[in-house]
Amino acid sequence: MTMTDSKPVGLYIHVPFCKSKCPYCDFYSVAMKPDTAECYVKEVIRRIREYNLIYDTVYFGGGTPSLLGSDRIAKILGSVYVTNDCEITVECNPSDICRENTELSFGKLRSCGVNRISMGLQSADDGERRSLGRRTGRNGIERAIRTVKAAGINNISLDIMLGIPGQTEDSLAATLGFCIESGVKHISAYILKIEENTFFGRNAEKLSLPDEDRTADFYLQTVETLGNAGFEQYEISNFALPGYESRHNLKYWNDEEYLGTGPAAHSFLGGKRFYFERNLEDYLGGAKPVSDGIGGTAEEYIMLILRLKKGLDYNSFKAKFGCEIPDEIKSFAALLAEKGLAQANENGFHFTPEGFLISNKLIYETISKLSLPGGH
């Protein structure tokens, strides 16, 4: 696919550098050395040029993209063809924004097209943040938000975490209040998942983690509080003021195509899924991406679209795949609606917040009722 024969797609750039490892995190990242950072930027540019595509969303994720500094981010963006209205997001660690002599200029980022910043708040409670290995205190986060806004970038997203050791209804209420008052446009609220290969995974029994029921209550508290403040829940974990949904992440859930580059980055392009191994040296050495099979199947589409509040629309499904949704799925949707886990009518269904809480199980059950002719 080249720029001349394709419609715009998304671009994900995985920046595999972090200053230190947070105790709960399983994302791929290593320590950054200046030489490696230069080689990384060159390799990213080389690989993006191989495709010659045009992009309508660009997302620098990680890792910690803000560690790269604005000059390197600008250099990468200088090699990317983007549409006039391209959404360009950079994930930033507030500590990189607040640091003296930071290499991060938001004026520079803005002038090279960056128009959305995503920051990890996790919690407005400094004790909870410390337990997650985060150094910047609440004041630092406030300063970071002011710095980004002062550069004219107002589309800011904050990540928060539910189920943190020691979290209470009151501390969560304070975190949600902080987000709402800070004037950000988007909030992602993730339930802490204990991954085996992390410090938390190795020490789970020593952490005072809220149990599943309590965490479920935190989730419902989040949905209600943010809803009352005008943040529409548009995906299981994502909330936005009207018009500020993440266009890039919506591509994933709408099963649209994107190119991913950088170690551990995944792609869905030309009907195929592929990814880079979690290894920076191999990536820098020119390793080819690994095939991950065919993308865009009916099964995959249902799995992703049901993560969204809009849910599954039977007519859109028929237009895309040329066949009706099986009656078994329609009956299952009606059953879920009776239990308060979904809202359903003759045109489709979507999960309620209670349904989202057990969406993995519900999606699996939905897909198991899908048997279509033609091997979808």
Contact flag: residue 330 with ligand SF4 (CB under 6 A): no
Asked whether 159 and 117 are in contact (CB, 8 A), the reply is: no
Position among 16, 29, 289, 333 found at the interface with ligand SF4 (CB under 6 A): 29
Contact flag: residue 225 with ligand SF4 (CB under 6 A): no
Binding segment (CB under 6 A) for ligand SF4, from list 59-67, 205-213, 318-326, 365-373: 59-67
Query: Considering the complex, what minimum distance in angstroms separates the CB of residue 148 from ligand SF4?
Result: 17
Contact flag: residue 157 with ligand SF4 (CB under 6 A): no
- Residue number with CB closer to ligand SF4 (118 or 155): 118
Contact flag: residue 64 with ligand SF4 (CB under 6 A): yes
Contact flag: residue 160 with ligand SF4 (CB under 6 A): no
Q: Is 243 left (phi over 0), alpha (psi -120 to 50) or beta?
A: left
Q: Count the residues of the shown chain that bind ligand SF4, applying the rule CB under 6 A.
A: 10
Binding segment (CB under 6 A) for ligand SF4, from list 56-64, 81-89, 196-204, 284-292: 56-64
- Residue number with CB closer to ligand SF4 (191 or 367): 191
Position among 10, 16, 62, 262 found at the interface with ligand SF4 (CB under 6 A): 62
- Residue number with CB closer to ligand SF4 (233 or 246): 246
Contact flag: residue 22 with ligand SF4 (CB under 6 A): yes
Query: Considering the complex, what minimum distance in angstroms separates the CB of residue 26 from ligand SF4?
Result: 8
- Residue number with CB closer to ligand SF4 (21 or 214): 21
Contact flag: residue 81 with ligand SF4 (CB under 6 A): no
Position among 1, 6, 8, 25 found at the interface with ligand SF4 (CB under 6 A): 25
3-state secondary structure the chain: CCHHHCCCEEEEEEECECCCCCCCCCCCCECCCHHHHHHHHHHHHHHHHHHCCEEEEEEEEECCHHHHCHHHHHHHHCCCEEEEEEEEEEEECHHHHHCCCCCCCHHHHHHCCCCEEEEEEECCCHHHHHHCCCCCCHHHHHHHHHHHHHCCCCCEEEEEEECCCCCCHHHHHHHHHHHHHCCCCEEEEEECCCCCCCHHHHCHHHCCCCCHHHHHHHHHHHHHHHHHCCCEEEECCEEECCCCCCHHHHHHHCCCCEEEECCCCEEEECCEEEECCCCHHHHHCCCCCEEEEECCCHHHHHHHHCCECCCEEHHHHHHHHCCCCCHHHHHHHHHHHHCCCEEEECCEEEECHHHHHCHHHHHHHHHHCCCCCCCC
Contact flag: residue 66 with ligand SF4 (CB under 6 A): no
Contact flag: residue 342 with ligand SF4 (CB under 6 A): no
Binding segment (CB under 6 A) for ligand SF4, from list 61-69, 162-170, 339-347, 364-372: 61-69
Position among 93, 155, 222, 233 found at the interface with ligand SF4 (CB under 6 A): 93
Position among 9, 11, 13, 18 found at the interface with ligand SF4 (CB under 6 A): 18
Residues forming the site for ligand SF4 (CB under 6 A): 18, 21-22, 25, 27, 29, 62-64, 93
